[in-house]
Each structure stands twice: as structure tokens, then as C-alpha cells.
Amino acid sequence: MARRYALANILLGPRDDPYDELLDDLAAEHRALDAVLARMTDAQWDLPSHAPGWLARDQVAHLAHFDEAAALAITDAEAFARGCRRHACGRGSRRVREAIPRPGGAR
């Protein structure tokens, strides 16, 4: 990891905060994925992925959904919890539904 951040350390100073390093890693992953996706042809979006039964487009939609959910959890925890309750309602186990926090800390 030290080599990877050598230029950033020279330009920005050392990254002492593991959270900042995590954000840098996530941003680098997004840039790398964006570069791959930008080169894909229409036909490549319909190729099977490594996940059985999933196309490349399914895999990317899955990643995008969970990136958006994670961002919502960080920026608006109550809206995230409402969405989780809505999606878990009628699906999944009672134990999972009960584990999702409700406003005011109630379960």
C-alpha cells in the first residue's frame, strides 16, 4: 500500500486517517470500474457474468443499487431505515424485519 500512495503522500502529505485511505480506495475502484464500463459495447452488457444466471448489466445494476443504498445510509439514516422496512415487509424473516431500526430507536 505504501507504494500505491507514494505520489499522494508527496502531494498531500501522509494519510494518517484509515477512513481517508478507505475513501481513496473506493474512489479508485469507482474510477477503474467506470473506465471498464465506458469501453463496453452494447453486446457486452448482455454477456453472462461470473454470477450464475446474471448478465453483466445485472451485476452492474446490483453494484449501483448497493452503492446508492450505502450512500443513503450515510447521508439519511432514517430514509434508509424506511426503505429497508419497506423492502423487508412481507419478504424475509421476522427476525430480519425486527432487526431494522425504527425512528426513535423502536424496533
CB 47 within 8 A of CB 55: yes
Q: Any idea which of 4-8, 35-39, 94-98 has the lowest mean pLDDT?
A: 4-8
Q: 41-76: per-residue pLDDT in tens?
A: 999 999 999 999 999 999 999 988 888 888 888 888
Determine the pLDDT at residue 10. Answer: 47
User: What CA dihedral angle connects 97, 68, 22 and 17, to 10 degrees?
Assistant: -80
Confidence of residue 13 (pLDDT cuts 50, 70, 90): low
How far apart CA 23 and CA 18 sit, in angstroms, is 9
pTM above 0.75, yes or no: no
Determine the pLDDT at residue 96. Answer: 52
- Name residues whose C-beta falls within 8 Å of residue 69's C-beta, 6 or more positions apart in sequence: 80, 83
